Amino acid sequence: MSHGFVVVFIMALFAGMHFYSIFVLERVSEGQVNLHLYLLGVFIAGLLSYPFKEEKIQQTTMQSFLWVTAVRKSNYQTAIIALLIFAIVFTTKDKAISRIFVGSYILSAWFSLIIINRYVPDWIAGFAFRGRNSVRTIFLGSAKSARRLEQWAERQPFFGIDILGLITYEMATDLKLKMPIIGEFMDMELIMEAYKVDQIVLLETRNSDWWIDPVVELCEKHGCRILIFNPWEEYFDQELLPVQLGGHTFFTLQEEPLENPINRAMKRILDIVVSLPVVLFVLPLLCLLVKCMQLRQAPGPLFFKQERSGQRGRRFKIYKFRSMRDAGTDRTREGEQAKEGDDRIFPFGQIMRKTSIDEFPQFINVLLGQMSTVGPRPHLLEHDDQFSQQVNIYRTRHFVKPGITGLAQSKGFRGEITDRRLIEERVHYDLQYIRGWSIWLDLLILFKTAVQILRPPKSAY
């Protein structure tokens, strides 16, 4: 609801400043600027700036944190608005709209959005959830468990949850507990009737069916919702995400969109659509070209085949155009990373590596289902062992299929890995890809990779 207010406000601000410049400042004549087009652009910008994935709210009410969150949102929203306005000015070649006006509007919008993002959600929540609209809630469990949720409980009135107190099965009261203890378990039904409870938060199960069944029956009888607290999350540094498998609920430490069968099918279709034409029409021509250059500069086999680790650690043979001189049976330098000016690379091989032409045979691996067009790049097996010792979470890259290109590569991370920081950053982007996968992200990475083939980064050699 607060974002709807943002959309209305930025449109009203643009219209208000436009009319002010016409009737008060008299700098622009009426009808000279296509107001409807700009309002449409601002409206679309408002929709695009909606935070579909909300930032996780920490257990804090510090004013500084709330202001930082408001500024972050405003920066993002203002950037989208500015982008759309500049796009309209550029495509329509509008000379009537003043640069001073556009700059003043963007600056005013940014400052106003900080105030809106900071205060409007509180105002809306206070109006929507006050009085009878609040959800009257009690905790059920031990004082020890309730103490873990005290900070969370302090924040809940903002979301319309009115924490009435704790029902406990313990005889003694806990003076250190901030929330009131309003009764014991044996008096639960009387308490629910007296307080007109809407919701119960079950803090623990006490590993006993006899205690749970009466609670469920009472809640069903009184039309009361049950929330079950998950105590596992406090033992981990990241959010636990529920996963439904075979009628049971499990928790995982990270979101994995590619665990969804529909997403996997979409990604596989994209892989086939991209790789099949390359294998049928592009690869044969490249094979002829590369073989001719190899015969002239470094005779030997066309392809370089090597074992790599794929999804779930399953090994497969990866295909590349051979870009180094044939070492024959000498395998002493096979595990050595290629360096800038490496004497093993022949001249045309250097061109292939810089433009990624040597990777094109991997589209065969994609068709075979061993790789994907986009995913974490597969490293040498000995490098997997080496990097996993440097970065503990390294092997989580194997949750998905390895790719011909990846998010890290599209950011310019290519070439030799010379220190721990480089592998940490690559793993960071690989995990960001796994957790944030979408078909649009794959298409964006493929586009950036195509650009890099034409304009290789300095790290490519």
Whether the pLDDT of residue 65 is over 60: the answer is no
What pLDDT does 157 receive?
61
160 touches 125 (CB < 8 A): yes
Range of weakest confidence among 66-80, 93-107, 171-185, 445-459: 171-185
What pLDDT does 206 receive?
57
- In 3D space, the residue among 111, 80, 113, 85 whose CA is nearest the CA of residue 98 turns out to be 85
| Rg of the chain on CA atoms, in Å | 30
Which pLDDT tens digit goes with each residue over 210-244?
678 888 888 888 888 888 887 776 666 666 777 77
Mean pLDDT of 135-146: 84
Averaged pLDDT of the chain: 83
Q: How confident is the model at residue 159 (pLDDT cuts 50, 70, 90)?
A: low
Mean pLDDT of 428-446: 92
Which pLDDT tens digit goes with each residue over 309-366?
999 889 999 999 999 988 776 666 666 777 777 888 999 999 999 888 999 999 999 9
Burial class (CB in 10 A: 0-12, 13-18, 19+), 43: middle
CA–CA distances in Å: residue 349 to residues 43, 76, 111: 51, 43, 54
- Measured CA to CA, the distance from residue 261 to residue 277 in angstroms comes to 25
**pTM of the prediction?**
0.59
Q: Which helix (H) or strand (E) holds 296?
A: helix 283-297
255 touches 266 (CB < 8 A): no
Highest mean pLDDT among 99-108, 123-132, 452-461: 99-108
Using DSSP, how many helices (H) and how many strands (E) does the chain show?
16, 11
CA–CA distances in Å: residue 108 to residues 44, 79, 325: 19, 13, 62
Mean pLDDT of 119-129: 70
Report residue 369 as tokens.
């289902």
Dihedral pair phi/psi, residue 182, rounded to 5°: -100, 0
Which pLDDT tens digit goes with each residue over 174-196?
557 778 888 888 888 899 989 88
Number of alpha carbons in the 13 Å side-chain half-sphere of residue 88:
21
311 touches 369 (CB < 8 A): no
Residues β-bridged to residue 243? 250
Which pLDDT tens digit goes with each residue over 367-399?
999 999 999 999 989 888 889 888 888 988 999
- In 3D space, the residue among 455, 345, 452 whose CA is nearest the CA of residue 405 turns out to be 452
Mean pLDDT of 93-97: 80
CA–CA distances in Å: residue 81 to residues 32, 77, 90, 102, 421: 21, 6, 14, 11, 36
Q: How confident is the model at residue 461 (pLDDT cuts 50, 70, 90)?
A: low
